[in-house]
Chain A
Amino acid sequence: GAGVSQSPSNKVTEKGKDVELRCDPISGHTALYWYRQRLGQGLEFLIYFQGNSAPDKSGLPSDRFSAERTGESVSTLTIQRTQQEDSAVYLCASSRGQGNRFSSGNTIYFGEGSWLTVV
C-alpha cells in the first residue's frame, strides 16, 4: 500500500476484555515497530520486528501485551485483560531495512494510529 495502514482507527473496550490491533506496513518494508503514546506524553517503544522475528521486545509493558508478524507483512498487537492505563494511541511504523542501520533508505514512517479507550 501507499502508507502504513492501521485498524481499527478507534476502539472503545471494557476493562478486562482483550483487543487486537492490526498494522499493514508499507509494501517491501522489512522492519516494523509498535509505539504507544498516552495523551500528552512522548512515544513509548513497545516492540520491533525484522522480518517475522522480534529481536527487541524490551518495551512490552507486561505479559498482557504480545505481538506477532506473519509473512513479513501484517502485524498484530494483542492486549489481554485490558486495563484503563492501557488507554492510548498505538502507533505502528515501518522502514525498509535493518533496524539498526538508519540511513536515508531506512527512514521510518508512521501509520495514523489506533486510538484505544478502556472504560
Chain B
Amino acid sequence: QKEVEQNSGPLSVPEGAIASLNCTYSDRVSQSFFWYRQYSGKSPELIMSIYSNGDKEDGRFTAQLNKASQYVSLLIRDSQPSDSATYLCAGPGFQKLVFGTGTRLLVSP
C-alpha cells in the first residue's frame, strides 16, 4: 500500500463552487500533513499544513485532518480559474516527506 494516496482526477468544478480534494494515508502515527499546489511547469508551493485533528482555515482554503479514518482533505471555497493546478498531499514517511501523485483540479469560468 502506498503511504499517501490521491485520486489523480481531473476534478472539474465551475467557478465559484467548492472544490474538495482528498488524500488517504497508511501510517497511523503520522502527525502532520501538507498540501502543495503545482502549476504546470512550476515547482510545488506550500499552501496549507495541518498537524491536529479537525479543520484549519486560511482564506478560501480549509484543510481537514481525520486521524481515526486516516484521511486529510483540502476544501477550496469560491473556486477561481486561477486555482486550476495539481494539488499534492504530503505526509511524513521515514525521514522524508512522502508525496501523493497529485489531483489535477480544473476550474471552469
Contact = CB atoms under 8 A, between A and B. Distances in A.
Interface of A: 33, 35, 41-43, 45, 48, 50, 55-56, 89, 91, 93, 99-100, 102-104, 107-113
B94 A56 contact: yes
B66 interface: no
Contact of B46 (A42, A99, A109): A109
Contact of B43 (A48, A50, A55, A112): A112
A57 to B, nearest CB: 11
A102 B31 contact: yes
A70 B32 CA distance: 29
Contacts, number: 57
Given A43-B44, A43-B88, A33 B96 contact: yes
Interface in B75-109: 88, 92, 94-102
A119 B32 CA distance: 41
Contact of A103 (B44, B51, B95, B96): B51
Contacts of A35: 99
Given A50-B95, A56-B96, 13 more contacts: A33-B96, A42-B88, A42-B100, A42-B101, A42-B102, A43-B88, A91-B43, A91-B44, A99-B95, A102-B34, A104-B49, A109-B46, A111-B43
A99 B96 contact: yes
A45 to B, nearest CB: 6
B55 interface: no
B57 interface: no
Nearest to A47: B96
A107 B46 contact: yes
B9 to A, nearest CB: 12
